Amino acid sequence: MLDHGFMCGAHGGVEQQLCKVCWIEFSPDNGKTWLFPDWPRSLDACDSDELVADTAHRVLAVSGREEFHIRVSSDGGKNWSAVVLPSLASDSIWQMFNDLQLLPDGSLLALHDTTWSLLQPAGSSWCSVSGPLASANVWGRIQIIGDHLWWISSDATPRNMAISAIHC
């Protein structure tokens, strides 16, 4: 359970033996009862979907596979608003990301096809990431642990780099 009576629980059916769906519930009465918001009702735990709490006591649903990649709730999950991100390509209305991570400084790190891009907080355009991550052969998802970004390379070796080293 997250702050302000907000909970994410895992549920998987027979057709989802390897993947789980994270449903979203909120409690208007400090945990006595639980309700589903009108939207979004769930996140896909198999992709890069995650729930993040920020310093303003909001909950952010981050998804690389949804039309709205960032959704924000300020009332513990009862109501959500979508954040429209700048497009990576001028001919694209919206795109799916292979991976999308909210970095501790508020930047978004996205993998689109084989290219890593960075969107600074309040930024109006994405920039291509340079340095070690640009040439990293990532297999699966990246994961933020402490002040490092971790991934499994295509040769099955765990790799990491300092988040502070991610730049354009």
Contacts of 59 (CB under 8 A, 6+ apart): 2, 4, 6, 51, 52, 53, 72, 73, 76, 77
CA–CA distance, 58 with 32 (Å, rounded to integer): 22
CA–CA distance, 56 with 64 (Å, rounded to integer): 23
Residue range 96-108, pLDDT digits in tens: 777 888 899 989 9
Last residue of a domain, one of 15, 49, 84: 84
For the chain, what is the domain count? 2
Task: Tell me, yes or no, whether 78 and 103 share the same domain.
Answer: no
Task: Tell me, yes or no, whether 99 and 130 share the same domain.
Answer: yes
Q: What pTM does this model have?
A: 0.73
Last residue of a domain, one of 50, 84, 118: 84
Farthest CA pair distance, the chain? 50
Residue range 32-50, pLDDT digits in tens: 888 887 776 666 655 667 7
Task: Tell me, yes or no, whether 53 and 70 share the same domain.
Answer: yes
Domain, as residue range, for 109: 87-168
CA–CA distance, 93 with 96 (Å, rounded to integer): 11
